[in-house]
């Protein structure tokens, strides 16, 4: 059964990691190393079944492959999930056991922060392996990627609005930001500086109030944001926000936000296209975070990362143009461009390098 799931996703390798003493139960998926080592975060959350965990890690790892390929990085896609409650199940032993398992993969997979994990956890993993990014600056890590991720979302949004609404900038547009955590709040500051009208919503009312104290905006009930009449909807909370019925009720003209896996299925992008709502694929829009940690892994400086994050706008524009020319959804166009780059670069191996 697991082999079928792995083959369906086109993944290379799945590793089950266990340490009964600490209770560690983790699954690491390496989707592709065709362009380089597989980089992707480690998610810590409860799963109803082991099958759900394997399915989730495979889906997330595949997304990382496309994200890295479209960001022009020499990296593949991978992801790890730890089955458990991040509030109660973390311990030094668990992280160090996980670090040793990661180390045993010899750099084929590099881990990072994700939902349910934080920088302190990465620091603990770093004691056992160098194949981790997002550690604290004292341990050689880069800073929080969220502000740079917001810069990428902003660049993609400008490209989307220019393409779909024929507007040279964001001034005067009404943008609804769903979720004003680390990325959403930084995005609000950029949009306010552009002269956008902002409506924000967060299930954490205090987070919304914090943003409203520094940025001119209206606070809405988070449940109402998806049906708000606005120019741009920026989902910056959790994934799975757009399904078939959600698309029917949407009143935005552009969807462009940082949340991972915004569509419940790739073909929801076809429904958006049918309603003439431009969807900026999330794995392009939010690739600033990956670019930031890739810089850490490769020893590049902030300028290197910023150049690539600013290029997200041009990549998004290219995707919109291809989608239009080929009459396919933007999500499919993005995946096909990523797959084409992977095919093109990975077959370079036919040109042998001299022995070093």
What is the contact surface with ligand NAD in residues (CB under 6 A)? 145-146, 149, 178-184, 201-204, 207, 222, 236-239, 258-260, 286, 289
Compute the least distance from the CB of residue 144 to ligand NAD, in Å.
7
Among residues 237, 200, 240, 206, which one has the least CA distance to residue 220? 200
Q: What gap in Å lies between CA 127 and CA 120, rounded to an integer?
A: 11
CA–CA distances in Å: residue 61 to residues 68, 179, 231, 306: 11, 24, 32, 24
- Is 274 tagged catalytic? no
- 248, exposed or middle or buried, with CB in 10 Å at 0-12, 13-18, 19+? exposed
Please say which residue, 118 or 326, places its beta carbon nearer to ligand NAD. Answer: 118
CB closer to ligand NAD out of 225 and 278: 225
Task: State which residue, 97 or 228, has the beta carbon closest to ligand NAD.
Answer: 228
In this complex, which beta carbon is closest to ligand NAD, that of residue 27 or of residue 188? 188
DSSP secondary structure, 107-151, as one string = TSEEB---TT--HHHHHHHHTT-S-B----GGGT----SHHHHHH
**Smallest separation (angstroms) from ligand NAD to the CB of 146:** 4
Structure tokens at 203: 């299930």
Pairwise CA distance, residues 36 & 81, whole Å: 21
Structure tokens at 105: 């993969």
**What 8-state DSSP symbol labels residue 38?**
E
- Shortest distance in whole angstroms from residue 235 CB to ligand NAD: 8
Least spacing, CB of residue 25 vs ligand NAD, in Å: 22
Query: Phi/psi of residue 26, each to 5°?
Result: -130, 155
Nearer to ligand NAD, 97 or 198 (CB): 198
Nearer to ligand NAD, 66 or 97 (CB): 66
CB of 287 to ligand NAD, least distance (A): 8
Query: Residue 49: exposed, middle, or buried by beta-carbon count in 10 A (0-12, 13-18, 19+)?
Result: exposed
Q: DSSP assignment, residue 263?
A: B
What's the min distance (Å) between Cβ of 256 and ligand NAD?
Answer: 12
**Contact (CB, 8 A) for 36 and 76:** yes
Catalytic residue among 67, 79, 90, 182: 79
Question: Which residue of this chain has its Cβ atom nearest to ligand NAD in the complex?
Answer: 181
Please identify every residue annotated as catalytic.
Answer: 79
């Amino acid at each position: 059964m697991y082999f079928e799931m792995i083959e369906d996703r086109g993944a290379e390798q799945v590793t089950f990691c266990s340490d009964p003493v600490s209770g560690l139960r983790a699954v690491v998926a390496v989707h592709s190393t065709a362009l380089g080592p597989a980089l992707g975060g480690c998610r810590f959350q409860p799963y109803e079944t082991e099958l759900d965990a394997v399915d989730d890690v495979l889906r997330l790892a595949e997304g990382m492959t496309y994200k890295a390929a479209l960001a022009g990085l020499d990296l593949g896609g991978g992801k790890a999930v730890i089955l458990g409650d991040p509030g109660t199940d973390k311990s030094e032993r668990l992280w160090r056991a996980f670090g040793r398992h990661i180390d045993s993969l010899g750099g084929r997979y590099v881990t990072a922060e994700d939902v349910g994990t934080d920088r302190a956890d990465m620091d603990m993993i770093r004691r056992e392996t160098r194949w981790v990014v997002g550690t604290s600056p004292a341990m050689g890590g880069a800073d929080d990627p969220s502000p740079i991720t917001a810069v990428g979302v902003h660049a993609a949004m400008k490209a989307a609005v220019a393409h779909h609404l024929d507007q040279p900038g964001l001034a005067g547009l009404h943008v609804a930001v769903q979720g004003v955590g680390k990325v959403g709040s930084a995005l609000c500051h950029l949009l306010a500086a552009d002269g956008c009208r902002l409506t924000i919503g967060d299930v954490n009312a205090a987070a919304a109030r914090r943003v409203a104290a520094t940025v001119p905006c209206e606070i809405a009930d988070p449940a109402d944001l998806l049906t708000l009449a606005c120019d741009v909807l920026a989902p910056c909370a959790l994934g799975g926000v757009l399904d078939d019925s959600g698309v029917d009720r949407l009143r935005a003209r552009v969807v462009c936000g940082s949340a991972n896996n915004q569509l419940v299925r790739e073909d929801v992008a076809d429904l958006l296209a049918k309603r003439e709502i431009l969807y900026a694929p999330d794995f392009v829009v939010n690739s600033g975070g990956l670019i930031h940690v890739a810089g850490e892994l490769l020893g590049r400086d902030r300028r290197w990362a910023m150049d690539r994050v600013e290029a997200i706008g041009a990549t998004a524009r290219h995707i919109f143009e291809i989608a239009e020319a080929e009459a396919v959804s933007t999500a499919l166009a993005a995946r096909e461009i990523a797959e084409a780059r992977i095919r093109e670069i990975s077959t370079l191996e036919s040109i042998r390098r001299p022995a070093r």
